[in-house]
């Protein structure tokens, strides 16, 4: 069991790093959007916030859809190959 966990650990390292990066960026974006979101209250576009927001949205899609599925794929593959 412990050897299996040891095998799983490297597989979880990258997803954990991506997740932490996402959470930090989300906090940063959250603090930047107190007065406006992807578009400011008067309807104009704040370019810097917009770029960060679009990047964060892409990362969010990856974190919600791709990362868990990819991790599950790799863990299942590793379990089947485990001696």
Partner 1 sequence: MYGQSVTPGVYVLCGVTSGHLDQLRYHCFVKLLRLVFPLLAALLIARILPPLVCGRDANRWLRGDPVLQQSLAQELIAFELRDDVARNKSSKNRFASEWALVTHQMTALGLAQLCLAHPEWKERYVPILSRAAQKSFLPEMRDFGRRAWHGEDALESLAGTHGHAYLSYSALAVGMARLLDPNFPKSIADRHDALIAAYERRLLASTTGLIETYPGEAYPTDVAAVAAAIAVHGRVTGENHHRVLAHWAEQVKRVQIDAASGLVIQRMGARSGKPHDAPRGSGTGLAAYFAGFADRRTAQLLAEGLFKHESTFLGFGAIREYASGHHGFGDVDSGPVIFGVSVSATGFALAPARAFGKEDSFERIYRTTHLFGMPFSWAGRTRFTSGGPIGNALLFAFLTSGPEVAP
Which residues of the chain form contacts with partner 1 (CB under 8 A)? 26-27, 29-31, 33-43, 53, 56-57, 60-61, 64-65, 68-77, 80-81
Task: Assign 3-class secondary structure to 47-65.
Answer: HHHHHHHHHHHHHHHHHHH
CB of 56 to partner 1, least distance (A): 7
The structure tokens listed for 73 are: 């794929």
**Residue 15: count of CB within 10 angstroms of its CB:** 16
Q: Which is nearer to partner 1, 9 or 57 (CB)?
A: 57
- Provide, rounded to whole angstroms, the least separation between the CB of residue 61 and partner 1: 8
DSSP 38: S
Shortest distance, CB of residue 11 to partner 1, whole angstroms? 12
């Amino acid at each position: 069991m412990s050897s299996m966990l040891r095998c799983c650990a490297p597989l979880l390292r990258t997803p954990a790093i991506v997740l932490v990066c996402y959470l930090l960026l989300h906090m940063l974006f959250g603090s930047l959007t107190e007065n406006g979101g992807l578009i400011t209250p008067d309807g104009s576009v704040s370019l810097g916030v917009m770029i960060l927001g679009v990047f964060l949205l892409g990362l969010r899609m990856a974190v919600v859809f791709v990362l868990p599925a990819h991790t599950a794929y790799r863990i299942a593959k590793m379990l089947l190959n485990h001696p």
